[in-house]
Chain A
């Protein structure tokens, strides 16, 4: 359940932004979460609701943008979709692959008032 800590970090970063960007309420939070980031999306929704209570993000809608896992194969130089860190190249069977997308955990945008 590190989703709870991740949500605490999200809310903390939003509160910092509230000071510098001068807003008092957040209505929507867009997060980018990669398929290889080890994050349970359901747990994120549950945790966010709990952690945001009483903050500028209280009752804000959490929107998760899924980022698919993509790797580059150093052997055949193809970019291929991957579902796990230890996947082998679907073109030539080589591993390890260089992960180039899917590890993201980012706050992308906020809708604020």
Chain B
């Protein structure tokens, strides 16, 4: 475990390199450095009970707050894209980047357990991307994202997409500092997924129902699916689209533009807030 900032991510690599703290330690606000001085304190050897009352995710939440503060100061819109493997997340992302790259500054953090294939797919669109490989890790955490930001250096007032590891369970609990979690579900999956994985659908602000061009060939009950999602999260917004055929994509672009506009408010240097 790293004793500089206590990160225990032995298998995590960013663009193929394990992050080396002597070169790229990003000083996040407000976390205690945890190297233990293994000193023996005389008279302290008896057992005692310490009341801690500390949230297990408090460290991640501190990193997430530091990331969010950074994003707000730079007028960035940050979207955390979550889904199961195979929902069409990367296709949605590459088609979005191709469509919007002349209109908005954008960047991507790609999370996968292994391979840099997705980052290469993203870079092929001309948008800059950095790959985090989590090794055995099943989700990105705020600390990894903080380090990836140093390597990526996204532009001021840009849209940053964070493509999380394909997993509908674990990423729900880990705030990365994003403005919104966007959950992507495809019609080739079960319509009851919102009920099976309620934490993720509860945590998301927007749900994208993808691959709707395949609906004529499937027995997917769209109404039931949307009803389940709203039962878990009555405030969730839902867009139905096909990243492959392009149907419905304009609504997704409109949502990104509106969210981006909101993130700019208060961040322009000349603006008094």
Contact = CB atoms under 8 A, between A and B. Distances in A.
Interface of A: 1-2, 4-6, 8-13, 15-24, 27, 31, 37-38, 51, 55-56, 84-86, 95-96, 105-113
Contacts of A84: 198
B86 to A, nearest CB: 19
Interface stretch (B55-63, B66-74, B237-245): B55-63
Given A85-B198, A85-B202, A105 B47 contact: no
A9 B198 contact: no
Nearest to B58: A13
B231 interface: yes
Contact of B198 (A27, A86, A112): A86
Contact of A86 (B1, B39, B141, B231): B231
B172 interface: yes
**What does DSSP make chain A's interface, helix, strand, loop or mixed?**
mixed
Interface of B: 1, 6, 8, 32, 34-41, 44-60, 136-139, 141, 169-170, 172-174, 195, 198-199, 202, 228, 231-232, 234
B195 A5 contact: no
Contacts of B1: 8, 11-12, 55
Contact of A22 (B41, B55, B58): B41
Contacts of A110: 49-50, 52
Given A2-B139, A86-B232, A107 B56 contact: yes
In this complex, the member of B35, B37, B173 whose beta carbon has the largest number of chain A beta carbons within 10 angstroms is B173
B267 to A, nearest CB: 31
Nearest to B54: A107
A106 B41 CA distance: 28
Q: Sorted from nearest, which 7 A-B pairs have the closest CB atoms?
A: A2-B170, A8-B8, A105-B56, A85-B198, A107-B52, A16-B34, A110-B50
A38 B54 contact: no
B32 A20 contact: yes
B32 A106 contact: no
In this complex, the member of B8, B50, B56 whose beta carbon has the largest number of chain A beta carbons within 10 angstroms is B56
A109 B137 CA distance: 27
Contacts of B234: 96
B48 A105 contact: no
A81 B45 CA distance: 43
Given A6-B56, A8-B8, A13-B56, 10 more contacts: A2-B169, A4-B137, A6-B57, A9-B57, A11-B1, A24-B40, A85-B198, A112-B48, A113-B44, A113-B48
A27 B47 contact: yes
A9 B50 contact: no
Given A31-B56, A106-B55, A18 B47 contact: no
Nearest to A36: B199
A15 B59 contact: no
Contacts of A19: 32, 34-37
A65 to B, nearest CB: 12
Contacts of B6: 12, 15-16
16 contacts: A4-B137, A10-B56, A11-B1, A12-B1, A12-B6, A15-B36, A22-B44, A37-B173, A56-B36, A85-B202, A86-B232, A107-B54, A108-B51, A110-B52, A112-B49, A113-B46
Nearest to A51: B8
A104 to B, nearest CB: 8
A111 B8 contact: no
A1 B170 contact: yes
